[in-house]
Amino acid sequence: MIKIIKREDVDKKFTTIIRISAVLFSLIFAGMFIAFIGYNPVKVFTQMFFGAVGTHMRLQETINKVTPLIITSLGMLIAFKMKFWNIGGEGQITMGALGASFIALNYGDKIPQLPLIISMIIASVIFGGIWALIPAIFKVKFGTNETIFTLMLNYIAIKIVQYLQFGPWKDPAATGFPKIPTFNQNAILPQIFGVHIGIIMAMVLLIFIYVFIKYTKKGYEIEVVGESINTAKYAGMNVNFIILFAITLSGGLCGLAGMVQASAMEKTLSYTLSAGYGYTAIITTWLSNLKPNYILLTSIAFAILLQGGTFVQVSMQIPSAVSGMIQGIILFFVLGSEFFIKYKLVRESK
């Protein structure tokens, strides 16, 4: 008989070896699948890498994908630290973009660029935060399942923007094409070396969240609530307030990613603007082991995978699903490795 036993002491070296092994095995398994469908896996992975960083333009595109991944992953991290499974990143990104777009479309030509950008940032954080706060309130008051709740809100947010795009906000100058007007130049994030300053915002937020989690009282309270609600209550913490605060912050960060996408990339609002970053950020957050300093590495890795996947679709005529398949395999192996970190299999003697 094989028995599952919880490991008592897990050292850092063992944990690192297991996680690195999981990533390596996932790449080997993905390579086997690529070979099975008739492609050379070595050539595919090589082309994906050079398709992401091989030229200055490709590198710029990769950085543009890193930015929303970092910001959204930081938002996910806050929620996951508290074991609140926020799967609503897509909706929160979309609503954040909606808030920023409202400011851009109504005041883009009326106020200077700096106060306009700041106003858009504030609006995106508020809209994204409120969208995350809704399931948090229901969780606190009625004990609802936040996974399903946040997931369903994704579709509602997208449909709201789709309604605006095809209806009240449709650009009358687009000759019937369902498009929201392009932002005024004041509402577009400036660029440095060909890359918008959203990447600087992402780096600042990385440092901020690291300090917030590690060195502030509120960050400590979030971790305690995540470990044990009963312990938090025993310590006199206001658990409900901590949950509501943390999830609002989580949604606000995701909303900020929406502002970056709307202002720097799309330069307008579109119901397809979130581009799957809300779901990909779930993977990057888990791969980071819920540590802000590792989110940069996981986000870069997946931005390379996304940009490289787009490149090989054209250069090697590989189906678009291959990139998503590789992401799924990596997530499967990494999540599976957590089992072997926490538990071990032993043969039970008769």
In the chain, where are the structural domains located? Answer: 66-300
Task: Tell me if 165 sits within 8 A of 130, measured CB to CB.
Answer: no
Residue 217 clears pLDDT 60, i.e. is over it: yes
- Give residue-wise pLDDT tens across range 167-192: 999 998 887 789 999 999 999 999 98
* Helix residue spans in the chain (DSSP H): 12-36, 41-53, 56-81, 89-107, 113-142, 146-166, 198-215, 217-227, 229-234, 239-260, 277-287, 292-315, 321-342
Burial profile 42-71: b = 16 or more Cβ within 10 angstroms, e = fewer: eebbebbeebbbeeeebbebbbbbbbbbbb
Bridge partners (DSSP) listed for residue 343? 6
CA atoms of 340 and 331, how far apart (whole Å): 15
Q: For position 295, what pLDDT does the model report?
A: 95
Residue 349 clears pLDDT 70, i.e. is over it: no
Which one, of 322, 307, 306, lies nearest residue 39 by Cα?
322
Residue 196: pLDDT band with limits 50, 70, 90: very high
* Three-state DSSP class for residue 84: coil
CA atoms of 203 and 208, how far apart (whole Å): 9
- Give residue-wise pLDDT tens across range 278-300: 999 998 998 888 899 899 999 99
**35: which residues sit within 8 A by CB, 6+ positions away?**
41
Which one, of 338, 296, 122, lies nearest residue 207 by Cα?
296
Which one, of 279, 260, 69, lies nearest residue 154 by Cα?
279
- On average, the pLDDT of the chain sits at 91
- Give residue-wise pLDDT tens across range 136-168: 999 999 999 999 999 999 999 999 999 999 999
Which one, of 150, 118, 156, 151, lies nearest residue 137 by Cα?
150
- Give residue-wise pLDDT tens across range 315-348: 888 887 777 788 788 878 877 887 888 787 777 7
pTM assigned to the model: 0.91
* Three-state DSSP class for residue 224: helix
CA atoms of 128 and 90, how far apart (whole Å): 10
Task: Tell me if 66 sits within 8 A of 300, measured CB to CB.
Answer: yes
